């Protein structure tokens, strides 16, 4: 069955089959989401090559490349990092270089989810069009890549601590404002103005201004005047603990990732030890710090919408038939139970529009709400 005609990356059809890696059961749709994300990465890599920019596999993607030669089985996203100079150039050309339908977000382009880094996604909405599915390996969901800036770290440890404290206070303020948990926003913002020596236009997009301040704080120390590099926002949320020596990013080497070749930093061993400890080669299930699978929220939200008198569930069935998939197994996943002694999750099909009840004989009864 031919369904890859518009893809940049070709996978053997067996790649999309559910499988168990390191004792973890990977869903068929997750394989398709992985492939869709790699298509986004392909576009980013194309742009970087055009402008002579360097990117590095980072975080779980770097660990996956070293330990699994691909995705960590229980991971569902792609993280890369770039030095600030290259990162800024990439942001300046994305608008003109990204394909039609792509979107990107960063501190100066705040959307519903303010980000202290750069995110590139392949669409703005779930898409069941045949051409879209052919291009993105049968995955209808929003898929993307997170790109983190690497900035210089102050040589003075106290300065570094102060920088983190200020940035964290601003990011905490963004969360409070988003949740409308502060009664007097202006007074709250005045406190930030006084501590940071900035002025905030309270009649404008306050959240975006705060995110820009964090980004400027992060880039206030250049690589040339530093011994170490860091992604400031990752220290504010506790994801990272120790800065990385800039020599570890002095060049790239090639790493294998799901049969593809990607650039990894020359100091990958030291970086992974700093991130995960000396035993980073030992798989530890449950290390991800976000919801898995990422597309569950997209799915649940879409089930409350009916488009062109055709329900979401009906469209799903048609897509599953076209790609020869079992839609009750791969198109809707919600966490039902976690087996603490087993590295598996039990997922079942459930939504606002349809419930799947599995009988003793293994048959499925679908009941409309």
Rounded (5°) CA angle 212-214-217: 110
pLDDT value of residue 254: 97
Q: Give the model confidence (pLDDT) of 188-207 as tens digits.
A: 788 888 888 889 998 888 88
What's the rounded Cα separation, in Å, for the pair 305 and 313? 10
Task: Give the list of residues 6+ apart from residue 163 with CB closer than 8 angstroms, or none.
Answer: 154, 217, 220, 232
C-alpha dihedral (41, 42, 43, 48), degrees to nearest 10: 90
Domain regions of the chain by residue span:
13-150+288-368, 154-220
Model-level pTM? 0.83
DSSP-assigned letters across all residues of 327-363? HHHHS--EEEEEETTTTEEEEE-B-SSEEEEE-TTS-
Q: Give the model confidence (pLDDT) of 231-242 as tens digits.
A: 999 998 888 878
pLDDT value of residue 176: 84
Q: Give the model confidence (pLDDT) of 25-47 as tens digits.
A: 888 889 999 999 999 999 999 99
Reduce the secondary structure of 47-80 to three states and give it as a string.
HHHHHCCCCEECHHHHHHHHHCCCCCCCCCCCEE
pLDDT over threshold 50, residue 333? no
pLDDT value of residue 41: 98
What's the rounded Cα separation, in Å, for the pair 109 and 207? 10
| Mean pLDDT over the full length of the chain | 81
pLDDT value of residue 112: 65
Contacts 24+ apart (CB under 8 A), 78-81: 78/37, 78/38, 78/40, 78/41, 78/145, 78/146, 79/145, 79/146, 79/148, 80/41, 80/44, 80/55, 80/56, 80/145, 80/146, 80/147, 80/148, 81/55, 81/56, 81/147, 81/148, 81/149, 81/150, 81/231
C-alpha dihedral (141, 127, 65, 60), degrees to nearest 10: -30
pLDDT over threshold 60, residue 109? yes
């Amino acid at each position: 069955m031919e369904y890859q005609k518009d893809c940049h990356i070709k996978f053997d059809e067996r790649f999309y089959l559910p499988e168990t890696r390191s004792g973890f059961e990977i869903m068929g749709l997750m394989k398709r989401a992985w492939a869709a994300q790699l298509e986004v990465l392909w576009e980013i890599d194309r742009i970087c090559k055009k402008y002579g920019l360097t990117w590095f596999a980072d975080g779980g993607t770097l660990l996956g490349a070293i330990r699994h030669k691909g995705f960590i089985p229980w991971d569902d996203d792609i993280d890369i990092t770039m030095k600030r100079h290259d990162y800024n150039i990439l942001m300046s050309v994305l608008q003109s270089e990204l394909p039609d339908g792509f979107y990107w977000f960063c501190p100066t382009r705040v959307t519903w989810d303010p980000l202290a880094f750069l995110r590139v996604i392949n669409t703005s909405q779930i898409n069941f069009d045949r051409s879209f599915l052919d291009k993105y390996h049968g995955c209808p969901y929003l898929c993307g890549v997170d790109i983190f800036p690497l900035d210089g770290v102050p040589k003075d440890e106290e300065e570094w601590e102060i920088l983190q404290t200020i940035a964290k206070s601003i990011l905490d303020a963004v969360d409070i404002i988003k949740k409308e948990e502060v009664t007097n926003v202006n007074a709250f913002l005045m406190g930030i103005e006084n501590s940071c020596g900035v002025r905030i236009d309270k009649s404008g997009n306050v959240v975006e201004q705060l995110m820009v301040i964090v980004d400027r704080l992060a880039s206030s120390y250049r690589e040339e005047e530093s011994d170490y590099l860091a992604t400031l926002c990752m220290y504010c949320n506790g994801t990272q603990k120790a800065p990385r020596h800039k020599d570890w990013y002095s060049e790239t080497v090639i790493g294998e990732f799901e049969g593809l070749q990607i650039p990894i930093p020359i100091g990958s061993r030291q970086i992974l030890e700093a991130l995960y400890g000396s035993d980073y080669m030992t798989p530890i299930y449950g290390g991800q710090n976000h919801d898995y699978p990422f597309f569950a929220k997209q799915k649940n939200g879409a089930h409350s919408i009916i488009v062109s008198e055709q329900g979401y569930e009906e469209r799903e069935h048609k897509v599953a038939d076209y790609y020869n998939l079992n839609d009750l197994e791969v198109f809707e996943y919600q966490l039902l139970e976690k087996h603490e002694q087993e590295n598996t999750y039990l997922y079942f099909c459930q939504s606002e529009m349809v419930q799947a009840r599995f009988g003793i004989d293994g048959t499925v009864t679908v009941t409309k709400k």
